[in-house]
Amino acid sequence: MATLNSASQVLPSIYSISSFEDQPKMSAPISRYLGPLSQRCVLNVLRHTPAVPMACSNCRCRQFSSKESLTVDVSNLAEMFRVAKQSSGKPLRRLFMTREEDPGRHTMQHEGLFYTMQPETHNVLFKEDSFTAEFRKQVETFNEMTLMVRRPAVEVISYLKQANYAYPPNKYLLYGSHGTGKTMSLAHIIHYCHSQGWMVLYVPWPSSWNNKFRYLTNSSYKADRWDLPRESVSWLKQFKTINAEILEKTPIKTRYSYEWTKREVMEKGSALTYLIEFGISRPKFSSDCIGALIKELKCQNEELGVRILLAIDGVNSFWRPTAIKLDNKEFADPDKITLIHNFKKLLQTDWSNGAVVGTVDAKASVKEERASFMPRYLLKKEGFEWLDPFVPIHVDDYNDKEVNSCIDYYVDKLWIQNPKALTEEGRNQLIFLTNKNPRILERTAAAW
């Protein structure tokens, strides 16, 4: 019969007890008072906290099968509460979480574990349209934003650490079937670059520029182009928020002069922040201000010592047909949208001291072109040649460790509440139904 001294050795669960080496050995079996309960349930009863339900046939404890129940000896009821008081200051550790919140320190040892992104970080980096509505609801419900450390993100981060930034930017392309976690891996990479002091140019979902725009105006710079004032102003605000610290510490001056109207001229040597503020306050010129911003960053970032990350979620939408119908009843080419035209310049190799990380997603293409998730198919010939060369990174469904870690997290957050789903049989059925797909697992778990 095991004692509290060996509790940490007999707990094959998502929780562990940090240390009970200072606990005395007991003599009388605890079953005299509590019956055949598992170790975890005993600790919860002693601490007056509810046990998390799951697999134990005796008490639905989350930690044990019925074969591993009842391992603690105590002499009497008073001794039980004395032990509980001594152990109450030693919280149980959730084994599906890692305490390492610095993405720069994440390695494959952390694979399959969730880490918490602090509110002051994710509120700066990601706005509402950065993630799906389901994930935003989950973040709001759990009152925290957690990301799982997965191989694709760790792999890209390791490449970013080793790259030579004296050369043109390396391009990394995340690809995979729908719902495998490409956007989450991209968010992990963005968090890393931001924590390392990079300047981040984040484009959450440019597919909306092609077919879900609200306002469309003729370009003030090129007659055959189209501006998206609302989207341009929103992006400039996001850029200003994400890179506020860099813009404050690094006084960047423009190398070119810009004439917006006969009365509004931005002279050479103006502050880059003035260019950003001008675009926000004058939506008519916001798309062109983004073009000027990209032009300035490409020619100055190396000497300024500021590395640039261009992160695009759904980059294949840059070659997707638009919903803009011309007078000849044909649809406008994507290059005719000023925003797309400007950001495609950063996909070229005429600059250095930076990196490009993107995803290709079938949802970013038209319905008729979603038969495959492979980059060559989604980018088509033109897009593939534009991005070539790039490093393809496959984002697959969860492996065994990741899917169990995710289920553990959902149970801990009471996202899964059906008692039958908390048994070992229910867990296996949940894995079978979802085929370990992260998105399907999240939606299925919400229904359970």
Domain ranges of the chain: 4-94, 103-394, 400-447
Alpha carbons 170 and 153: distance in angstroms, whole number: 15
Q: In the prediction, which pLDDT does 293 show?
A: 96
Alpha carbons 234 and 218: distance in angstroms, whole number: 18
Q: In the prediction, which pLDDT does 170 show?
A: 97
Q: Work out the angle between the directed axes of helices 286-304 and 229-242 (0-180°, nearest 10).
A: 30
pTM equals: 0.80
Q: In the prediction, which pLDDT does 21 show?
A: 34
Q: Which residues contact 181 (CB under 8 A, 6 or more apart)?
A: 148, 150, 152, 395, 438, 439
Give first-to-last CA distance, the chain, whole Å: 37
Q: In the prediction, which pLDDT does 165 show?
A: 94
Q: Are strands 391-394 and 15-17 parallel, antiparallel or unpaired?
A: unpaired
Amino acid at 258: Y
The tens place of each residue's pLDDT in the chain, 448 residues long, gives: 333 333 333 333 333 333 333 333 333 333 333 333 344 444 444 443 333 333 343 343 443 333 333 334 444 555 555 555 554 454 445 789 999 999 999 999 999 999 999 999 999 999 878 898 889 999 999 999 999 999 999 999 999 999 999 999 999 999 999 999 999 999 999 999 999 999 999 999 999 998 888 888 988 888 889 999 999 999 999 999 999 999 999 889 999 999 998 889 999 999 999 999 999 999 999 999 999 999 999 999 888 889 999 999 999 999 998 888 877 778 888 999 999 999 999 999 999 999 999 999 999 998 889 999 999 999 999 999 999 999 999 999 999 999 999 999 999 998 988 888 888 999 999 999 999 999 999 999 888 7
Do the beta carbons of residue 153 and residue 185 sit within 8 Å?
Answer: yes
Do the beta carbons of residue 18 and residue 385 sit within 8 Å?
Answer: no
Q: How far is CA 18 from the centre of its chain?
A: 30
